[in-house]
Chain A
Amino acid sequence: MSSTEQGTSSAAPAEPTTAPESAAAPEVPESFYYVHGKDKVVHKVSAGALQHSALIHGMISNLGYTEEQAKANPFPFENIDGDILQMVVDWCNQHKGKPTPPEDTNLPKQKEKLFDLVLAVNYLEIKELLTYCCKQVAMMVKGKSPEEIREIWMIPTDAEDEAAEKEAKKRAGKEAAGETAAAAGDAK
């Protein structure tokens, strides 16, 4: 015991004779689950860290996997890039069982990664991380002019929107006509 600790303990009330309950109780071994992204690299994540994801938490609750079963059947997230899933796993591990701080400075600064992260986090239903990511997206255009915002966020002009809408209508019309012709062919 250090001198500081000794000093503190002498001033403190007498310690209870029995050991604290938490120390006496046998520790419950933490269960782990496995996830993989598009790159098939498997990440081992504790159930505590995965609590952040409402989607995975729901999957775990419904499946009732044992650790062996979980190891043999990693949760596949084929729509998420490996590096993005790694970021999500790291974030969940860092914030396991901790209250989430109001700001998170560890998020990626590269815009394209941030966008993929938003999509992944939205899919995995990690509310706190989604909040940080959306704030980061908003920060991209802080103090920018409409022209700069249009460029950063790839916003089409009204003319481009109208042209895209016309094109979509034309395509839908063609598809509908094709389906009608196919149905008529089937009837014959």
Chain B
Amino acid sequence: MPINILSLPSKDLQYALDCMDIGDLVAFSLCSKRTKNLVESSNRQLYRFAVLVYENRIRFEMDVGTIETIYDRVFLDIFDFYIIRLGDRTQVWMRQEFNRSDWIAHLMNIFNDSMITFLSIENDSLSYLDTIKLFFSKMSHPSYQ
């Protein structure tokens, strides 16, 4: 039997969100506008936020933890209309109305306070430039390749 998580007292709901893995939190944020706002307001901090721009996809690598202990890591490959969560159980999450820029905007919004710590661009085609520009304002220091 399902449970109605959104009817939990806000403090408990927030604590439950704090207990979730980053990948699960991203999946939760994609359920509705309300869940996206909840994740955004949970202010989850990433220790490492790397973006790698490839020929056909953009990879987000997100780590939570400290330099000594990375206790949660997620890899997301972003395409138009869908995103792939890589891991033990690789998943494809579809959003017909989303293009690559929408996915990126969504992820940057929910981890709003986290700065990109590493940017690698392996595709310099002009068609990509507008998308890539989204990252520059969120760079913690200019260490892109």
Contacts and interface: CB of A to CB of B under 8 A. Distances in A.
Interface stretch (A8-16, A68-76, A77-85, A136-144): A136-144
Interface string B65-85: 000000000000000000000
Contacts of B93: 145-146
B105 interface: no
B126 interface: no
- Dominant SS at the A interface? helix
Given A130-B12, A131-B15, A138-B16, A153 B5 contact: yes
Given A143-B24, A151-B2, A137 B31 contact: no
Interface residues of A, number: 34
B96 interface: no
A109 interface: no
Contact of B24 (A115, A131, A138, A157): A138
A150 interface: yes
Contacts of A131: 15
A149 B28 contact: yes
Interface in A20-35: none
Nearest to A139: B19
A143 B20 CA distance: 10
B8 interface: yes
Given A111-B3, A138-B16, A161 B32 contact: yes
Contact of A145 (B21, B87, B88, B91): B91
A122 B17 contact: no
A139 B6 CA distance: 16
Contact of B5 (A110, A135, A155, A157): A155
Contact of B33 (A110, A118, A152, A158): A158
A118 B1 contact: no
A168 to B, nearest CB: 14
B50 to A, nearest CB: 22
Contacts of A144: 24, 27
B133 interface: no
Interface of B: 1-6, 8-9, 11-12, 15-21, 23-24, 27-28, 30-35, 87-89, 91, 93
